[in-house]
Amino acid sequence: MTEPVRIGVVGGGLMGKELLALTGRWNALIDHPARPSVVALADTSPAVRQWWEAAGVPTVAADYRRLLDDPSIDVLYLAVPHDLHEQLYLDALAAGKDFLGEKPFGIDLAAAGRIVAAVDAASCFVRVSSELPYFPGAQRAFSLVRGGALGQVLEVRSGLLHSSDLDRNKPINWKRRKATCGEIGVMGDLGMHVAHLPLRLGWQPQQVYALLDDVVPERPGPDGAMVPCDTWDNAVLAMKVDAADGRRFPMLWETKRIAPGQRNTWFFEAYGMDGGVRFSTRTPQTMQVFGFVDGQQAWSQVQPGHRSAWPTVTGPIFEFGFPDALLQMWAAFLAERAGALGDSFATATPHEALASHRVFAAALASHDTGNSVSLLGDAEPAQH
Ligand SMILES: NC(=O)c1ccc[n+]([C@@H]2O[C@H](COP(=O)([O-])OP(=O)(O)OC[C@H]3O[C@@H](n4cnc5c(N)ncnc54)[C@H](O)[C@@H]3O)[C@@H](O)[C@H]2O)c1
């Protein structure tokens, strides 16, 4: 039985438009329990509202209250700048709406803590956006690690690398200002993507040492005059994680807006005494698996194909890309909401977002003091 799901979008910019586009590809999913349609948009920008009107979305409003007060809307997608997350997410919960909220799920740790407390107290189904782990190569790497392929864990690395900020003339936008992006800067923008798989595998950082870099301090404003660009551009976090054998292994998270040559590279690597995995969206059709062949150390290159978390009509030999990852995330979100996800890979949880914020707040403290910062006693319960 397929349940129609009426979705209202708050924030019809880059990500809101992606959702509208992907609902048009919903038929690619096989036997999905839900059928979403985007029925409403709220956005304060007249130009954005015009775009959504032209796209034929029935309700287009400036004030998001219109969507919150509409009992015919089942689910909200909340995709606005970070300084607006807390109020909007709390309002959505107070209105009793289920939602997928964009990361970082609050502008800072305090805001995320208040949102997650309200989620825990409500009976709404709420998850956090993070789609890149849905690439088939990432899914394969995750399954291998969860199945114990590493043995004793040696080291974990994950990252999301951009490079468009190499252009010093790129105009300022809200993501490059502390007031709207948050003190955590690039970590708020890219960090949840990097944290999702490690946290899902139960790798809670116990100690954090951060290297934060603000490379470009000003950018052209709307009238061409230079204005402050006061967010962290690049962040490298070196962490220690408790291992099952009583040791602590190193984990590195890299989030960079200025990584020369990397347009939008997400990667996950995990190494152990018995095996290893490597996947990068830069080479999305392959992932690498380490093991022993005839007693020799060997990295094998595997082509996982278009084998998605939720099955699709798409041929297994065809290439998988960013819009497919988003489709898979929404498939997982709506299937879990319908109680039909089974043991398939679930969307990031509010508690995982909160755990990532704890790390980012510790990273700021580490930068300020020049020391590593302990997270002992702060950790979220491991989620598998
Ligand atoms: N999951 C991902 O891969 C991914 C990628 C990019 C951005 N994001 C996240 O999505 C969110 C939005 O980012 P974006 O890139 O779409 O930004 P964007 O600037 O393209 O869009 C944001 C929209 O929100 C609107 N807006 C601002 N104030 C509003 C209000 N009070 N009510 C309604 N609408 C309002 C703006 O007019 C704009 O259209 C952020 O949390 C960001 O971190 C996620």
- Cα of 352 from ligand 1 centre, angstroms: 21
Kindly state if the Cβ of 80 falls inside 6 Å of ligand 1.
Answer: yes
Question: How many Cβ atoms are within 10 Å of 81's Cβ, its own excluded?
Answer: 19
163-367-104 Cα angle (round to 5) = 55
Digit-coded pLDDT (tens) for 52-103: 999 999 999 999 999 999 999 999 999 999 999 999 999 999 999 999 999 9
Name the residue of 9, 14, 257, 324 to mutate for ligand 1: max ligand atoms within 8 A of Cβ. 14
Kindly state if the Cβ of 129 falls inside 6 Å of ligand 1.
Answer: yes
Kindly state if the Cβ of 12 falls inside 6 Å of ligand 1.
Answer: yes
Is residue 206's pLDDT more than 50? yes
Q: pLDDT-based confidence at 220, cuts 50/70/90? A: very high
- For CA atoms 198, 203, 204, 207, the dihedral sign is negative
- Cα of 85 from ligand 1 centre, angstroms: 10
Kindly state if the Cβ of 82 falls inside 6 Å of ligand 1.
Answer: yes
Rounded Cα gap, residues 32 and 29, in angstroms? 6
Q: In this predicted structure, what is the pLDDT of residue 384?
A: 35
Structural domains of the chain in order of their starting residue, each with its CATH number: 3-128 (3.40.50.720), 133-369 (3.30.360.10)
- Cα of 112 from ligand 1 centre, angstroms: 17
Q: In this predicted structure, what is the pLDDT of residue 382?
A: 43
Overall residue count recorded for the chain in this entry: 384
Kindly state if the Cβ of 131 falls inside 6 Å of ligand 1.
Answer: yes
Question: How many Cβ atoms are within 10 Å of 37's Cβ, its own excluded?
Answer: 14
Q: In this predicted structure, what is the pLDDT of residue 380?
A: 53
Q: Please give the share of the chain, as a percent, with pLDDT higher than 90.
A: 96
132 CA closest ligand 1 atom index: 3
Q: What is the mean pLDDT of residues 239-244?
A: 95
Digit-coded pLDDT (tens) for 100-116: 999 999 999 999 999 99
Digit-coded pLDDT (tens) for 119-152: 999 999 999 999 999 999 999 999 999 999 999 9
Closest Cα to atom 11, ligand 1: which residue? 79
- Cα of 179 from ligand 1 centre, angstroms: 15
12 CA closest ligand 1 atom index: 39
- Cα of 43 from ligand 1 centre, angstroms: 10
Half-sphere exposure of 156 (CA within 13 A, CB side): 29
189 CA closest ligand 1 atom index: 43
* Cα-Cα end-to-end distance for the chain: 29
Kindly state if the Cβ of 190 falls inside 6 Å of ligand 1.
Answer: no
Rounded Cα gap, residues 249 and 205, in angstroms? 10
Digit-coded pLDDT (tens) for 322-354: 999 999 999 999 999 999 999 999 999 999 999
Pairing mode of beta strands 59-61, 264-272: unpaired
Q: Please give the share of the chain, as a percent, with pLDDT higher than 70.
A: 98
Mean predicted lDDT score pLDDT of the chain:
96
Q: Which region, left, alpha or beta, applies to residue 182 given φ > 0 means left and ψ of -120 to 50 means alpha?
A: left
- Cα of 32 from ligand 1 centre, angstroms: 27
Residues 6+ apart with CB under 8 A from 3: 33, 34, 35, 338
Question: How many Cβ atoms are within 10 Å of 319's Cβ, its own excluded?
Answer: 10
Closest Cα to atom 15, ligand 1: which residue? 14
Closest Cα to atom 36, ligand 1: which residue? 11
Q: What is the mean pLDDT of residues 181-187?
A: 98
Is residue 374's pLDDT more than 50? yes
Q: In this predicted structure, what is the pLDDT of residue 328?
A: 98
Q: In this predicted structure, what is the pLDDT of residue 378?
A: 62
Q: In this predicted structure, what is the pLDDT of residue 129?
A: 98
Q: Which of 90-94, 219-223, 362-366, 380-384 has the lowest mean pLDDT?
A: 380-384
Kindly state if the Cβ of 48 falls inside 6 Å of ligand 1.
Answer: yes
Tokens of 246: 């009583």
Q: pLDDT-based confidence at 383, cuts 50/70/90? A: very low
